[in-house]
Amino acid sequence: MRDTTATVEITGLSEDGRGIGHLEGRELIIDGALPGETVRFRYTSVRETRGQGVTEEVITPSSIRSAPRCPHVTICAGCTYQHINSEAQIEDKQARLARYLDQHNVAPLQWLPPLQSEVWHYRRRARLGVRYVDKKEKTLVGFHEKRNRYIAEIDSCSVLVPELSDLIGELKAVIDTLACRRTIPQVEASAGDGGRIAIIVRHLEDLPADDRDKLIAFAQKLQLELYLQSGGLETVKKAWPEATPERLSYTLPEYDLELLFHPLDFLQVNADLNRRMIDLALSLLAPTKDDRVLDLFCGLGNFTLPIARRAGYVVGVEGSEAMVSRGYENARHNNITNVEFHAHDLTKELVGAGWAQTGFTKILIDPPRSGALEIVKEIARFKADRIVYVSCNPETLARDAGQLVALGYKLISVGVMDMFPHTTHVESIALFEKEEG
């Protein structure tokens, strides 16, 4: 690898937020560079047709360049878009979704305005890597460095909610005091409403009694809910406060709902954007008391229960029995009786699934990154007039949209939602309606 610098004009932007240029017959992927800029960069790798580098100096800055707010942005991989202003970030995400739709020959009748909220201190959950570094004689807590396996040395995080950002320094200090500090690889932290925080400390060896006492004292001091994890997810146990419900919660005031969740449960990490997304999804779905609605990949009821406030009846389906239990728990907690939940692997055939033998007027789909192709292929059996698809992967949304169009649905509208500002993650939402005839 050459240990030199060079100058290049940047003509494009990669999907991981790096600038693209060409020099000496090679395509170059440059950290910290933007389209329209001329930058001086340092090579980090060189191959015959491709090279990579890091920006050393921006000679001609782009109009979309923004000063990063986080002091750790050059090393931490948690955010890769902080050098791009918010308007350009969302435009880039919309352009990526449009490219994927075009690849599947699908075009919406209308583009929805981008859905946005606060762009700083929005994230209420994080999995933080932990590593004690003998040479530095201290513990690192944070996200990984860019393009390697090491933990970035950070003291705060500009996208975590303040109470989680402030926790980073506190965690480093307490882990430094533990005898088992070298065998703690991660801490998961979640913030519920009302300032409640839960942490799950993963430990690869049995905790000495003194270490356990120190962690409990730490949790007591900061009023955290402490869980310990010695192995797989089934080993997660609450250590403090004992004999209390293993739940945090968040509210959806517009629907008079409080949803309970375990710190291991999936939930949307951006609380305010989640509320706005639910409002948008329901405005597109437009449920009424005459509707029987199917909510696929329903999780703990994030969409199911708001829909139930307006629809006649809602059926939620999720692959996890634990989430089915959580759905019923949240329905009871909010005195909702016009719902039912079922566990079914939605990548498998629907043979024997009683809930799938009846029709639905409307459907909401909120799948994982892999999409919903298997269930989409069977969607016609439900005879729904309207489908709202919430996606965390524009590539699989476009693929599934092509399938829905082939089944006789029309893509009415689509738009991006900025669930993860300053990252390359693209959340989007689409409305499909059944073609007449």
Residue 55 burial class via C-beta count within 10 angstroms: exposed 0-12, middle 13-18, buried 19 and up: buried
Q: Residue 250: which pLDDT band, with cuts at 50, 70 and 90?
A: very high
Q: What is the pLDDT of residue 351?
A: 83
pLDDT tens for 348-402 read 989 889 999 999 999 999 999 999 999 999 999 999 999 999 999 999 999 999 9
Question: Nearest to residue 315, comparing CAs of 327, 333, 332, 330?
Answer: 327
In the chain, the domains with their CATH numbers are: 5-65 (2.40.50.140), 90-118+270-434 (3.40.50.150), 125-248 (2.40.50.1070)
Cα–Cα dist 286/280, whole Å = 10
Q: How sure is the predictor about 3, in pLDDT bands with cuts at 50, 70 and 90?
A: low
pLDDT tens for 66-97 read 999 999 998 999 998 999 999 999 999 999 99
Predicted local distance difference test score (pLDDT) of residue 2: 53
Model confidence band, residue 437 (pLDDT cutoffs 50, 70, 90): low
Q: Which amino acid is at 204?
A: L
**Cα gap 147→141, rounded to integer Å:** 17
Which are the catalytic amino acids? Answer: 392
pLDDT value for 312: 98
Whole-number Å distance between alpha carbons of 135 and 92: 41
Percent of the chain with pLDDT over 90: 94
Predicted confidence (pLDDT) at residue 407 exceeds the cutoff of 90 = yes
Single-letter amino acid code for the residue at 73: V
Q: What is the pLDDT of residues 274-290, one digit of tens each?
A: 999 999 999 999 999 99
- Could you give the angle at the alpha carbon of 229 between the alpha carbons of 227 and 233, nearest 5°? 105
Mean pLDDT of 188-201: 97
- Centroid of chain to Cα 301: 17
> Would you state the structure tokens that stand for residue 218, as one six-digit string?
């730490």
Asked if the model's pLDDT at residue 158 lies above 80, the reply is yes
Cβ–Cβ < 8 Å for 381, 404: no
Give the Cα separation of 187 and 219 in Å (integer): 13
Closest by CA position to 27, among listed 50, 6, 5: 50
